[in-house]
Structure 1
Amino acid sequence: MTFDDLAARSGSFAMHLARLRDGRQPNWEVLEIPEAERAQVFYVMQRESLAALIAYLDALADYLLIELDDAERLRIEVAELGDRI
């Protein structure tokens, strides 16, 4: 099981993963966020994505939808992505 496998199954997982992996930025003009606040808002969004991915992996492991070893390995990988924030 890989991040890409999970992203293929869940659009939400894919969006959160892209935000951490690639630094995918939202459309700031649509959100009407002033330029001076964008860095802080994006930091908060990345932290929320980190929490969402961990929660997603925990839920999959709790319901035995993925192997526990895979869940633990993926949690570590998510934490490593979070270290780059």
Structure 2
Amino acid sequence: MKRMVELIGGLHTPSETIETTRAALGAMVKERVVVEDSPGFVSNQVLLPTINGAVFLDQDKAASRTALLYLQSKLAAPRRASQLEE
């Protein structure tokens, strides 16, 4: 199961719904972040360029897959949603 959940409010989603959902996810020990509605998930839009870059680096033999996976694990340090919330 995913540890992080994107909360995406729609145009008519009351703020109370977002807050209730945020609290429920906190009780489930889920990291959560509130984002605006956008095509695809915001996390996918952030992650996919990194994955594509790694694929090209592998294709060009710039680094081994082991090195790429190691770098990804070190560079994508997990953060708590509380560290990201405004």
Of Structure 1 and Structure 2, which has the larger fraction of its residues in strand?
2
State whether TM-score is above 0.5.
Answer: no
Structure scoring higher RCO (CA < 8 A, sep ≥ 6) equals: 1
TM score, norm. by length of structure 2: 0.36
Of Structure 1 and Structure 2, which has the larger fraction of its residues in helix?
1
